[in-house]
């Protein structure tokens, strides 16, 4: 029994020490591959490294784009035309990247191979333009949905107050403040959408700035909506207290 | 004696597994997009100690307002995760390669 447990412990220990770091090794970064490419003195080795690098870069981009496309498809409150154009762009990029992957696999000369691998970045700008655009619009859509739901809460609160014959300055003030915050959030979301819409593959240097600006507007909208929600919950609590009092009477 | 050795072996195993796990590091380049977990759920009004203020209104004991509050909490939690994904996109992956 003791020997068996010792063997099991040893095996599992070896797996931890050897296999897990080996798995981590598999997830080598592009930078390491590029370093290896630079240090390699043989053309055949350079070609092999570039092919692996290109394949990994493309697969990672396709996975990220597929996920972004899915997000965009599920973003209910993004304008249909924006959704259509960006969705088509993402689909086209996926198709082009797949074709480039085949092309890279078949290429046997170093110089053209270098250019093809470099074009994975320069021709698509997946991480600089396409993904931030799709993700940003999905976030905007979610906050717009939140805004619509908060409007519905305001409407229901009004109905409830009418039903109870409850008219409180405090509750009304909270609801008015919430309305203002929702309007402010809506403006911020419009601005964010505008910035995201301006991002273009042909203007990669602008993309980072536009993405950061969009982020700031989303952050403002997020704060506005959170504050509006807090105020509405306070109003709900006040109305609930009023209803309790009425029930007691 | 054997029990002590077994115990020490188990402790050694836990330490080794811990070391193994620490070795697994995913670089930002390799993990550009965090897929939101399906388990992200907004807390229910009960979780955060809020009263179900209109519980007698409907057959199932949940008022429309409670449902809306819960929906908003869910949407907010989802948006938070999406926003985090958006912020975490590693744009340095599009730095020119210069091979």
Residues of chain A with pLDDT under 50: 1, 5-6, 8-9, 11-27
**With 70 as the cut, is the pLDDT of residue B58 above it?**
no
Contact A139 B21 (CB under 8 A): no
Chain B contact for A110 (CB, 8 A cutoff): no
**In the prediction, which pLDDT does A64 show?**
95
> Does B12 contact A13 at a Cβ distance shorter than 8 Å?
yes
Instruction: Please report the pLDDT score of residue A1 as a whole number.
Output: 47
What SS3 class is residue B61?
A: coil
Q: What is the average pLDDT across B41-58?
A: 51
pLDDT score of B34 more than 50: no
ipTM computed for the complex? 0.78
Predicted local confidence at residue B97, as pLDDT: 86
The C-alpha angle with vertex A74 and arms to A70 and A76, in degrees rounded to 5, equals: 150
Write down the pLDDT at residue A142: 92
For chain B, the straight-line distance linking the first and the last C-alpha, in angstroms and rounded, comes to 62
Taking contacts as CB-CB distances below 8 angstroms, the residues of chain B near A48 are: none
Nearest by Cα to A89 from A125, A63, A116 = A125
Q: Is residue A168 within 8 Å of A236, Cβ to Cβ?
A: no
Instruction: Kindly state the DSSP code that residue B95 receives in the 8-state scheme.
Output: S
CB atoms A5 and B97 under 8 Å: no
Q: pLDDT exceeding 70 applies to what percent of chain B? A: 42
Q: What pLDDT was estimated at residue A26?
A: 37
The pLDDT value recorded for residue A115 is 96
CA angle B80/B82/B86 to nearest 5° reads 115
Please report the pLDDT score of residue A24 as a whole number: 38
Rounded to 5 degrees, φ, ψ at B89 are -65, 125
Say what the pLDDT of residue A82 is. Answer: 77
Residues B34-61, mean pLDDT to the nearest whole number: 50
Chain A residue with Cα closest to B67: A153
Give the residue carrying structure tokens 């959704």. Answer: A83
Confidence at residue A4, expressed as pLDDT on a 0 to 100 scale: 54
What band does B25 get if pLDDT is binned at 50, 70 and 90?
Answer: very low
Chain B hits for A153, Cβ within 8 Å: 65, 68-69, 72
- From chain B, the residues in CB contact with A189 under 8 A are none
Contact B70, B48 (CB under 8 A): no
What pLDDT was estimated at residue B24?
A: 46
> Distance (Å) from the C-alpha of residue B59 to the closest C-alpha of chain A?
18
Question: Which chain B residue shows the shortest CA-CA distance from A37?
Answer: B99
Distances (CA, A) of A197 to A162, A187, A238: 43, 15, 42
Query: Closest Cα of chain B to A128: distance in Å?
Result: 5
Q: What is the pLDDT of residues A31-53, one digit of tens each?
A: 888 999 999 999 999 999 999 99
Taking each helix axis from N to C end, the angle separating A80-106 and A131-164, rounded to the nearest 10 degrees, works out to: 150
The structure's pTM equals 0.71
Query: Does the CB of A205 have a partner CB in chain B at under 8 Å?
Result: no
* Lookup result for tokens 């909208």: A221
CB contact under 8 A, B68 and A15: no
Residue A17 has a pLDDT of 46
Q: Which residues in chain A (15-34) have CB-CB distances under 8 A to chain B?
A: 15-17, 19-21, 23-24, 27, 29-31, 34
Mean pLDDT of B61-68: 77
Measured in residues, chain A has a length of: 249
* Burial of residue A214 (number of CB atoms within 10 Å: 0-12, 13-18, 19+): buried
With beta carbons under 8 A apart, name residues in chain A contacting B89.
Answer: 127, 131-132, 135
For B14, nearest residue in chain A (alpha carbons): A13
């Amino acid at each position: 029994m003791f020997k068996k447990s010792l063997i099991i412990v040893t095996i599992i220990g070896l797996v931890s020490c050897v296999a897990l770091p080996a798995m981590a090794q598999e997830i080598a970064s592009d930078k390491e591959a590029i370093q290896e490419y630079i240090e390699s003195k043989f053309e055949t080795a350079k070609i092999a490294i570039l092919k692996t690098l290109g394949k990994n870069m493309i697969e990672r981009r396709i996975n990220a784009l597929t996920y972004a496309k899915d997000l965009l498809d599920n973003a209910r409150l993004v304008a249909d035309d924006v959704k259509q154009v960006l969705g088509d762009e993402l689909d086209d990029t996926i198709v082009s990247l797949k074709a480039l992957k085949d092309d890279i696999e078949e290429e046997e000369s170093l110089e053209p191979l270098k250019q093809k691998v470099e074009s994975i970045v320069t021709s698509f700008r997946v991480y600089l333009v396409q993904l931030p655009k799709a993700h940003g619009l999905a976030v905007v859509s979610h906050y717009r949905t939140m805004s619509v739901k908060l409007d519905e809460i305001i409407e229901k609160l009004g109905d409830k107050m009418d039903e109870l014959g409850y008219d409180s300055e405090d509750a009304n003030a909270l609801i008015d403040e919430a309305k203002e915050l929702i309007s402010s959030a809506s403006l911020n979301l419009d601005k964010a959408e505008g910035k995201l819409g301006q991002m273009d593959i042909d203007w990669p240097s602008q993309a980072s700035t536009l993405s950061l600006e969009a982020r700031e507007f989303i952050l403002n909208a997020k704060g506005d909506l959170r504050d509006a929600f807090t105020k509405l919950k306070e109003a709900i609590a006040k109305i609930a207290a009023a209803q309790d009092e009425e029930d007691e009477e | 004696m054997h029990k002590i050795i077994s115990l020490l072996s188990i402790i050694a195993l836990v330490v080794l597994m811990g070391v193994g796990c620490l070795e697994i590091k995913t670089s930002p380049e390799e993990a550009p997009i965090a897929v939101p977990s399906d388990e992200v759920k907004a807390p229910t009004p009960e979780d955060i100690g809020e009263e179900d203020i209109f519980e007698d209104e409907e057959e199932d004991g949940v008022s429309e307002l409670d449902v809306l509050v819960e929906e908003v909490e869910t949407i907010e939690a989802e948006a938070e995760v999406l926003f985090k994904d958006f912020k975490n996109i590693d744009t340095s992956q599009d730095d020119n390669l210069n091979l």
